[in-house]
Amino acid sequence: MKKMTMAASSTALVLILASSNASALTLYEDPETHQVFTKDAPGLVKIEDEHQGIIVKSKAVTLKFSGKHYLGFVSSKDEGGDRKSHFETRRNYIQVKAYFNKKDFMRITLDTFQETKATSTSSEGSWLVRLKYAYLYLDNILPNTGVEFGQAHRPWIDYEEHHGWLYRSIAKTFIENDKGGHLMNSADLGINFKTKTPMFSSEIGAFNGAGYHAVDDGSDLSFEVRLTVHPLGTGKKKSKPQKDTYLDISYFGVKSLAENTRSNADFTMHGLHAVYNMPMFLVAAQYVTSDNESPIGLATNNSFKGDGYSVNFEVRPTKIFGILARYDDWNQDDQTSGNKGGDRKQYIVGGVYHYNKNVDFIINVTKVDYDDNDPLNWSGGKLKYKDSTDLMFTAEVNW
């Protein structure tokens, strides 16, 4: 990974490329602000230097640029501690899709994160770039079925983020969130077959199993699946929660033998999820159980064995304002080691203001309660994880 540097000129270049349908551009500059424009206007000066011209060449028919940003402010307080407040940028996705025709494309998505566990003090705090997705998508390689090959979506999390829990900007989904199940993340190297019909959709894939920011040793693969019934016949369309009505009932599961995936142990997960949405409200619920019994010959380590459930809803009294809430309850089996503190409950309540099609503002309170009697939450006579309350303000930006 390399340190991320992003000058204003680089940003201008990306925006120009994103808006350009021509192979060459004539550029104009504001002599006072030095902003660069693609159309002439009063007060602008044409850039005559031939080296300033930009030529866009690609073997793809279309290049589609986009970005997603989660910008926030958090004021948090642990039980018995002092309140701490800070601004943060939780996600900065920059994405390019190179279309070969109307449906087949290559996608690459980059994300930024801050180095907090550096091996040297000189790199601690640096902003780095991480590869989130890099996959080839081919449509209809089988009837009603396309395929992602490369660093691709895993079957469940992305689906829930677009149908059930819509506010990834303030909290990850139940199985990914470290205050919830904390069982897996959303992308991995592998192959994912995605089927869509009006009444049924599915994703079936095989992956390395370690996730997109962990090291895989090639010991075995993770087999993952999502099966969804759509009683209202909406399985083939891209649902828009603020405009559409849909009812989805899903099963999702994982069977992994990869030794590096879940603390050197076989990992199995099963989940059931249901969501009903109409323009005025959404309600969703799920139940998840997981196990990672150690193979013969390895020390017992069942730190990812447990079960839990999550419910969430949103009420939308107007097109621009909504009220949201979520409750997570995870029960961690009392074994030799804990998964982020043992038994815990999470409460999220907030409101969202849809400023325009590009920007949402969200304000919420997140409270986490840990079971102080759970031995997995103790180390050296002290609690490892303490109850906390976070006040959050978020701007979710899409372009």
This prediction has a pTM of 0.83
**Once rounded to an integer, what is the mean pLDDT over residues 345-349?**
98
Q: Are 247 and 269 contacting, i.e. CB atoms less than 8 angstroms apart?
A: no
**Once rounded to an integer, what is the mean pLDDT over residues 140-158?**
97
**Once rounded to an integer, what is the mean pLDDT over residues 257-286?**
84
**Once rounded to an integer, what is the mean pLDDT over residues 271-289?**
98
pLDDT at position 16: 47
**Once rounded to an integer, what is the mean pLDDT over residues 349-365?**
97
Question: From the CB of residue 183, how many other CB atoms can be counted at a distance below 10 Å?
Answer: 22
**Once rounded to an integer, what is the mean pLDDT over residues 97-105?**
96
pLDDT at position 7: 39
Residues 6+ apart with CB under 8 A from 32: none
Q: Which residues on neighbouring strands pair with residue 201, listed in sequence order?
A: 196, 228
**Structure-token match 């349908």, residue found:** 21
pLDDT of 172-182, one tens digit each? 999 999 999 99
pLDDT of 52-92, one tens digit each? 556 777 889 999 999 999 999 999 999 888 999 999 999 99
pLDDT for residue 337 is more than 80: no
pLDDT at position 45: 82
- Of how many residues is the chain composed? 399
pLDDT at position 323: 98
pLDDT at position 120: 63
Which helix (H) or strand (E) is 323 found in, with range?
A: strand 321-332
- Secondary structure class of 13 (helix, strand, coil): helix
Q: How far is CA 58 from CA 64, 97, 194, in A?
A: 12, 12, 28
Q: How far is CA 89 from CA 69, 131, 362, in A?
A: 8, 17, 14
pLDDT at position 81: 85
**Once rounded to an integer, what is the mean pLDDT over residues 93-102?**
96
Closest to 38 in 3D by CA, of 65, 6, 10, 12: 12
- 12 versus 163: the higher-pLDDT residue is 163
If pLDDT is split at 50, 70 and 90, which confidence band does 11 have?
A: very low
Please, what are the domains in the chain? 8-20+56-398 (2.40.160.10)
Residues 6+ apart with CB under 8 A from 382: none
CA 234/CA 246 separation, integer angstroms: 6
pLDDT at position 333: 82
DSSP 263: T
pLDDT at position 116: 81
The percent of residues in the chain predicted with pLDDT above 70, rounded, is 84
CA 1/CA 71 separation, integer angstroms: 23
CA 307/CA 286 separation, integer angstroms: 11
If pLDDT is split at 50, 70 and 90, which confidence band does 30 have?
A: confident
pLDDT for residue 316 is more than 50: yes
If pLDDT is split at 50, 70 and 90, which confidence band does 336 have?
A: low
Task: Give me the long-range contacts of 118-124 (CB less than 8 A, separation at least 24).
Answer: 123/3
The percent of residues in the chain predicted with pLDDT above 90, rounded, is 63
Task: Give me the long-range contacts of 191-195 (CB less than 8 A, separation at least 24).
Answer: 191/147, 191/148, 191/149, 191/152, 192/147, 192/148, 192/149, 192/152, 192/153, 192/154, 192/155, 193/142, 193/145, 193/146, 193/147, 194/145, 194/146, 194/147, 194/148, 195/142, 195/144, 195/145
If pLDDT is split at 50, 70 and 90, which confidence band does 10 have?
A: very low
pLDDT for residue 93 is more than 50: yes
**Once rounded to an integer, what is the mean pLDDT over residues 123-147?**
94
